[in-house]
Structure 1
């Protein structure tokens, strides 16, 4: 018995040692890709702002300049994906899960290139899409590429490195290595073994180090809270969790419905792209701060930017609709950051209402905004631990732990009662059904 245990330990050690070098290389490459994404998005946002400034100087044709720029960018972003790598559309996390489950092969190099280019073009146009999901997808693609090129890698190593690359992608996107590791355990590979955990940890650490060396060690969000939130206001985070679950359910259902509607042959795809471009142009003309992934917008909230309750509701509705449209367009881009933006607006709104109804509690609406990001993420993705760890790392503030637990796990419980299907699982299921329908139609045509 002891000999068998010893032999198992030796096998496990050898597997870990065999995965050490490829895991480090995987993290370094994923970190480098993430740095490229981050810098490219910064340049793209700067270019978009220049276009908006120039358009505002042209009183008559200004809106048409913006419209033309947005339509061209949307068509190019979606067209590249549609023509060369349809599996690169959206965030790619559901596709990555399908690859790990053996549902389809992984054209990793094609996905890597098209994902990067399409996302940069779409985000530069102002589509409300984030970089985290695509970085997770590209990290998984790099993992697949290492498996293909590295000698003596087994089929099991394939799933290990793909999952580790995905986790490294999330770690690099937000400077959050622990969240990347938890995301692998909670979302990508729930059956994760000890050496999978080892590979993911090494990859997340390596990717995060690359990003910190190049981009700096500052947390993603700048939040200043005076002391630890008192225990007597923890109960106030329960309604935030409940509302997050309800609106998370609405988000998931709306996104799935929108994708089905757009796939119907009622109108040509260009019609939907034109409608999306018109919405983005209108928002860019009136409130350009709302465009893009939304990280700077959230930072402005956490740094004390004041909104009326009516403005918060209006901004939430705008971001909700255009995020759904952007994600359904077929362009490469994730919903991770847009969901966090919606959560920040939701939390800010709930915090403002509690301030009005119970002024004696002396609550800080910014605190509700940051907790709302994690609770709304939980309502949509159904991964509460990832949400909690992610927000702690993104703010560098451990004092949020108790409010985060209350809001996230109340959102999880309500989502359980509502039978909310996690969004990435629902997207995966839809893709599988779509592929089965296509194969059935082809076989009927042949017969």
Structure 2
């Protein structure tokens, strides 16, 4: 908790779900041991606690439960479903009692294009964002490899990266942190198309460097911010390709968020449900499915390894 508070509070481009997932898993596992439960039960509780941590971080109970089944255990079975749902629901009841139940992002309803040809723009968004998701994964892994080669200890590395974060915060506070401001600004269409490439590259590099600091922090929030920028850029492209139709930008931004998640993590159900709960956009199911599918096709065609699988492989070989 303290490590996550210091790392994220200092301005590193990290997500709050990282420490929340770890703390939820640790607390659940401790409860299982205190109750003298068997190994299988402790594993189920650990996974359910991790999902509860994700649910609390983003006020997204369904996404927390699906995250357990799709990403952590990789299977749907009645016992695990019950544990995941129970943990996520109880966590959300407590957190909403303290923090309230408003979605993370404020989204105003915008009419979707009805023509099938216009719906294909969301497939285009998924294709472009899937390509960027591959670049995101490879940038994260490249930063970790570079950090491993530095002739300094991990604490010294963290000090150097922390100093960089301080410089970023001083130059432009909006570039620092998990990226919620960027996501909300993209939803509101208050970011000029001229600065999207520079903003995307800056956040991509700073996020990778922040993760290489080896401090507590997650990837979800920075990843969603990059997806929002990609979706916003695609909305401008769609408007150029179809100047005769006024296209709302917000659906593209939301589809970009889910597509980035699907292309990077390769857990489309978690990404779609998470984005819908964070934005209250349950009317975008078809565009979200289209974009996420296209992003996964691109990532798979390029032979990219899902980011958490790649990180697990690094851990298995003894590298951070």
For normalisation by structure 1, the TM-score amounts to: 0.68
Structure with greater proportional helix content:
1
In 2 relative to 1, CA 231–179 (structure 1 residues): closer, same or farther, beyond 3 Å?
A: farther
| Deviation by residue 1:202-238 (Cα, 9 ceiling, x = unmatched) | 1111011111111111111111123344243210012
Look up the match of 2:86: 202
Look up the SS of the partner of 1:359 in the other structure. coil
CA shift, 1:319, in A, is 0.5
Inter-partner Cα distance in structure 2 for 1:425 and 1:132: 18
CA shift, 1:265, in A, is 4.5
> Structure 1: which 5+ residue stretches go unaligned?
1-115, 439-447
**Pick from 129, 136, 159: which aligns with 2:14?**
129
> After the TM superposition, which of the residue ranges 335-344 and 353-362 deviates more from structure 2?
353-362
Inter-partner Cα distance in structure 2 for 1:143 and 1:192: 20
Inter-partner Cα distance in structure 2 for 1:179 and 1:329: 28
**Pick from 16, 24, 32: which aligns with 1:139?**
24
Look up the match of 2:218: 334
Does the CA-based 8 Å contact 1:293-1:338 persist in structure 2? yes
Inter-partner Cα distance in structure 2 for 1:339 and 1:184: 19
CA shift, 1:302, in A, is 1.8
1:236 aligns to 2:121 (yes or no) = yes
**Pick from 321, 329, 334: which aligns with 2:205?**
321
CA shift, 1:284, in A, is 1.8
1:293 aligns to 2:154 (yes or no) = no
In 2 relative to 1, CA 224–267 (structure 1 residues): closer, same or farther, beyond 3 Å?
A: same
In 2 relative to 1, CA 199–329 (structure 1 residues): closer, same or farther, beyond 3 Å?
A: same
| Deviation by residue 1:15-34 (Cα, 9 ceiling, x = unmatched) | xxxxxxxxxxxxxxxxxxxx
Inter-partner Cα distance in structure 2 for 1:202 and 1:402: 28
* Pairwise CA RMSD: 1.8
Look up the match of 1:283: 168
1:189 aligns to 2:87 (yes or no) = no
Structure with bigger RCO (C-alpha 8 Å, 6+ apart): 2
Look up the match of 1:252: 137
| Deviation by residue 1:390-426 (Cα, 9 ceiling, x = unmatched) | 1111111211111101100111112121122111111
Look up the SS of the partner of 1:399 in the other structure. helix
> Structure 2: which 5+ residue stretches go unaligned?
none
In 2 relative to 1, CA 226–264 (structure 1 residues): closer, same or farther, beyond 3 Å?
A: closer
Inter-partner Cα distance in structure 1 for 2:218 and 2:143: 16
